[in-house]
Amino acid sequence: MPEKLFDAVEARREEVTALTRELIRFPTVNPPGEAYTPCAEFIGDYLKRHGFGVEYIRGEGAPGDTDRYPRTNVIARFDGRVPGPTVHFNSHIDVVEAGDGWTVDPFDGVVKDGRVYGRGACDMKGGLASSIIAALAFMQVYPDFPGAIEISGTVDEESGGFGGVAHLARLGYFSPPKVDHVIIPEPLNKERICLGHRGVWWAEIETKGEIAHGSMPFLGDCAVRHMGAVLQAFEDELFPALDAKRTVMPVVPEGARRSTMNINSIHGGQTDDFRPGLPSPNVPDRCRLTIDRRFLLEEKIGDVKREVVSILDRLKRDRPKFDYEIRDLMEVQPTMTERDAPVVRAVAKGIMALFEREPDYVISPGTYDQKHVARLGHLYDCIAYGPGILDLAHRPDEWVGIDDMVDAAKVMAMGLNVLLRGGAH
């Protein structure tokens, strides 16, 4: 049993709590990308004090990157005494908007009843703090370790990760031989190892019409009615077909072990900018629909797209005046790391040592930055493992348990010991 390693983490309980609170106090809301630079610099300064070399990389040219809202990423590295593999802990620093319904200040890092509350506490500043504490405890107990440890704070994961991990992966920061193993401390529960995620296709469908006076709609062509036909066809044909598809992937929750599609938004006709007045009487000539299609390892992206396009093409043939355009917004293949991969086995040993049970192996219903590590970095020894309960993410009064952060840090420290030292005592 790695008592020394676990004791070293336990001794940093107050430190992991304080670090999480400080990270929450940076309101790194995305969009638009507030406070990225000061948060990244805080992480960099924190790790510099512990001997890490620090580099800041801006995601220039990425969506949303401007001089006002620079996409600032931080990567810190500590090289061991002799060469060896590199273990990289990657956490995103951006959070979603706070929203309404909070009983505490969402950016104060309130500590209450053994929990730290705040936007990003669970998703995923508590995980970032845990990974830092895991690394520091491991370095304290085994100062002569071989290899290297990297810790990154990256941006824009909540909006696809293009200014963060995707940008860095294109530059080679997530590719062998620079990095060998990646752990992403997303909140999937401290006794679970997340092997990957379902695929995603985001697209925008636009139906076309012809503007006319609202008192004489027969002189125009209503794009909203055309979109209604699209939605009806989806209800009658597509949704039942998706619901019948099942996967061998261990996706959680159970309802996500099938194909799904969400209607993210619909916009047709005039905007609300007439308020507090009244709208003008027009037949809408444009209607836009955004879809969020999540697909399975057993499905091919071409087939996923054809299911939608075939419905649209049939409507174009059968429905008078129906015309449409469809635009891809994002596509990501499903990914699933093998259960016998080195990083999976290492973290599993930590879970078994601490909890005396086998971990649960799961797949996330939604994507996270593992997609870019695999797709662009061509590095497949990657998992998500971290403290927190995913159901709390993006909700009011989001929190992370202090015990959970400490336990997750112990598991991650044990994982470092296995990957860098072979699990020696």
pLDDT of residue 357: 96
Please say if the pLDDT value at position 222 is more than 70: yes
List the one residue out of 396, 399, 377 whose CA is nearest residue 388.
Answer: 399
pLDDT of residue 271: 80
Please say if the pLDDT value at position 380 is more than 60: yes
Radius of gyration of the chain from its Cα atoms, rounded to whole angstroms = 24
**Token pair recorded at residue 342:** 């080195």
pLDDT of residue 50: 98
Per-residue model confidence as pLDDT tens digits over 289-299: 999 999 999 99
**For residues 113 and 43, what is the distance between their CA atoms, to the nearest angstrom?**
26
Point out the catalytic residue in the list 65, 94, 221, 285. Answer: 94
CB count in 10 Å sphere of residue 284: 23
**Token pair recorded at residue 75:** 């990567």
**Backbone φ and ψ of 338, nearest 5°:** -65, 145
Please say if the pLDDT value at position 425 is more than 80: no
**For residues 378 and 182, what is the distance between their CA atoms, to the nearest angstrom?**
12
pLDDT of residue 119: 98
**For residues 38 and 302, what is the distance between their CA atoms, to the nearest angstrom?**
42
Average pLDDT over residues 72-101: 97
On whether the pTM is more than 0.85, the answer is yes
Point out the catalytic residue in the list 65, 156, 157, 398. Answer: 157
Report residue 1's pLDDT band, with 50, 70 and 90 as the boundaries.
low
pLDDT of residue 382: 98
Average pLDDT over residues 247-256: 92
Q: Lowest-pLDDT range, 48-52, 273-277, 307-311, 389-393?
A: 273-277
Please say if the pLDDT value at position 45 is more than 80: yes
Percent of the chain scoring above 70 in pLDDT: 100
pLDDT of residue 180: 98
Report residue 156's pLDDT band, with 50, 70 and 90 as the boundaries.
very high
Report the interhelical angle of 402-421 vs 13-24 (nearest 10°). Answer: 110
Q: Lowest-pLDDT range, 48-57, 131-140, 303-312, 388-397?
A: 388-397
Report residue 390's pLDDT band, with 50, 70 and 90 as the boundaries.
confident
Map tokens 């304290």 to a residue. Answer: 140
Report residue 274's pLDDT band, with 50, 70 and 90 as the boundaries.
confident
Map tokens 């200040």 to a residue. Answer: 105
**What length does the chain have?**
425
- Sign (positive or negative) of CA dihedral 117, 104, 93, 133: negative
Report residue 17's pLDDT band, with 50, 70 and 90 as the boundaries.
very high
Look over the chain and give the mean of its residue pLDDT values, rounded to a whole number. Answer: 96
List the one residue out of 145, 51, 129, 130 whose CA is nearest residue 417.
Answer: 145
**Can you spell out the DSSP letters for 39-86?**
HHHHHHHHHHTTT-EEEEEE-TTSTT--SSS--EEEEEEEE-SEEEEE
Give yes or no: 94 in active site. yes
Average pLDDT over residues 1-9: 90
